[in-house]
């Protein structure tokens, strides 16, 4: 910039003032956002860490023994993540495969893409309403973690489709042609050539989806309830086991944070849950970055 000024005529006072102001604004915005980030993270850790203990993470809440614990919430969160991924993976990857490998009808592709974008822009409270009506009521699943997982499938579908599609596009066309020329059918080609080379993208998509599932609260509050006690996952007989396993309900980490903060005004514990969520978000970010980097290298 200095060099630059020296070879041209000096700037007019007005231009200099404008330049100075805008430059100051740029740095001010950057400094402000950095300060905000440091404050947010620092404040959550400062309020939360004193309330975080091994007992809090590993025990169930008990009024009689005066124990506070979020083990049920952790188990419920894992349960929801597991079921959602189990359903979303084949669906999302399959959908991406259809769009990039099979679809020949341009109109259908554009309709599917429009639908995916619509889902991506839909607020979670709408999913929550519809999930409650469709899965809890119409399909008779009741208030349950399974109904929550199915609703989350609707929400995370665009994430998986998009990342898978991106990585499918990076598989060189010559791989496909080579495989087809050797006489393999399309499904054989996809299974043995295309999918193995795009596994990184699928992994990235899963990690991002896990992030969204763990962070979601409105959907789970509506479909899986706000109970803080341990859900009954097992049972004596096989029939009992299944009916318990599928009707289990309760709060996940985000919902229990909401319950602590808003219903019980127990802010210390709410911040302790916030620390757990912050750590999960941090780990997920790093994992997604690493998987993404590997994707770029290939």
Residues 6+ apart with CB under 8 A from 47: 267, 268, 271, 274
168 scored as a contact of another protein (CB under 8 A): no
Q: Which CB, 91 or 244, lies closer to another protein?
A: 91
| Total interface residues for another protein by CB under 8 A | 97
124 scored as a contact of another protein (CB under 8 A): yes
Q: Are 127 and 154 within 8 A, CB to CB?
A: yes
Residues 124 and 110: their CA atoms lie apart, in Å, by: 24
| Part of the chain binding another protein (CB under 8 A), chosen from 36-44, 59-67, 76-84, 228-236 | 36-44
The dihedral region occupied by 148, where left means phi > 0, alpha psi between -120 and 50, and beta the remainder, is alpha
| Part of the chain binding another protein (CB under 8 A), chosen from 16-24, 61-69, 72-80, 230-238 | 16-24
| Interface of this chain with another protein, residues 47 to 86, rule: CB under 8 A | 47
Kindly report the number of other CB atoms within 10 A of residue 234's CB atom.
9
106 scored as a contact of another protein (CB under 8 A): no
Residues 6+ apart with CB under 8 A from 16: none
Residues 284 and 292: their CA atoms lie apart, in Å, by: 12
| Part of the chain binding another protein (CB under 8 A), chosen from 31-39, 50-58, 198-206, 233-241 | 31-39
| Part of the chain binding another protein (CB under 8 A), chosen from 25-33, 68-76, 231-239, 240-248 | 25-33
Length of the chain: 298
Least distance from C-beta 6 to another protein, angstroms?
Answer: 12
Kindly report the number of other CB atoms within 10 A of residue 119's CB atom.
16
Q: Smallest Cα–Cα separation from 162: which of 88, 234, 265?
A: 88
287 scored as a contact of another protein (CB under 8 A): no
| Interface of this chain with another protein, residues 177 to 206, rule: CB under 8 A | 182-188, 190
Q: Smallest Cα–Cα separation from 277: which of 260, 252, 259, 296?
A: 252
Q: Are 67 and 55 within 8 A, CB to CB?
A: yes
294 scored as a contact of another protein (CB under 8 A): no
Q: Give whole-number Cα distances, 221 to 125, 144, 210, in Å.
A: 10, 10, 17
46 scored as a contact of another protein (CB under 8 A): no
Q: Which of 145, 152, 203, 277 binds another protein (CB under 8 A)?
A: 277
Which structure tokens are listed for 77?
Answer: 């969160």
| Interface of this chain with another protein, residues 131 to 160, rule: CB under 8 A | 132-134, 154, 157-158
Q: Mask: binding to another protein, 206-245, rule CB under 8 A, as x and -?
A: -----x--xxxxx--xx-----------------------
Q: Which CB, 8 or 65, lies closer to another protein?
A: 8
Q: Which CB, 47 or 294, lies closer to another protein?
A: 47
Q: Mask: binding to another protein, 248-267, rule CB under 8 A, as x and -?
A: ------xx-xx--xx----x
Long-range contacts of 38-42 (CB under 8 A, 24+ apart): 41/278
């Amino acid at each position: 910039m200095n060099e630059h000024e020296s070879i041209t005529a000096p700037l007019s006072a007005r231009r200099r003032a404008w330049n100075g102001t805008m430059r100051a604004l740029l740095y001010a915005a950057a400094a402000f956002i950095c300060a905000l980030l440091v404050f947010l993270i620092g404040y959550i850790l400062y309020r939360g860490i004193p309330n975080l203990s091994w007992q809090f993470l590993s025990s169930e809440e008990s009024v009689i023994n005066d124990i506070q614990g979020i083990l049920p919430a952790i188990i419920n969160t894992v349960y929801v993540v597991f079921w959602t991924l189990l359903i979303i993976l084949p669906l999302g990857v399959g959908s991406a495969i259809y769009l990039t490998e099979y679809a020949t009808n341009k109109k259908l592709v554009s309709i599917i893409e429009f639908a995916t974008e619509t889902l991506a822009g839909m607020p979670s409270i709408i999913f929550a309403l519809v999930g409650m009506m469709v899965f809890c009521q119409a399909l008779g699943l009741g208030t349950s973690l399974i109904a929550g997982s199915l609703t989350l499938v609707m929400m995370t579908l665009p994430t998986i489709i998009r990342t898978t599609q991106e990585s499918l596009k990076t598989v060189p066309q010559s791989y496909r042609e080579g495989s087809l020329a050797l006489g393999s059918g399309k499904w054989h080609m996809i299974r043995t050539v295309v999918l193995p080379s795009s596994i990184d993208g699928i992994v990235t998509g899963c990690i991002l989806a896990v992030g969204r599932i763990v962070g979601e609260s409105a959907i789970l509050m509506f479909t899986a309830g706000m109970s803080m006690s341990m859900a009954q996952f097992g049972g004596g007989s096989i029939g009992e086991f299944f009916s318990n396993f599928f009707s289990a309900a309760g709060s996940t980490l985000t919902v229990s944070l909401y319950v602590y903060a808003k219903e019980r005004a127990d802010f210390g514990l709410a911040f302790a849950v916030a620390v757990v969520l912050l750590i999960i978000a941090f780990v997920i970010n790093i994992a997604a970055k690493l998987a993404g980097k590997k994707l770029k290298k290939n």
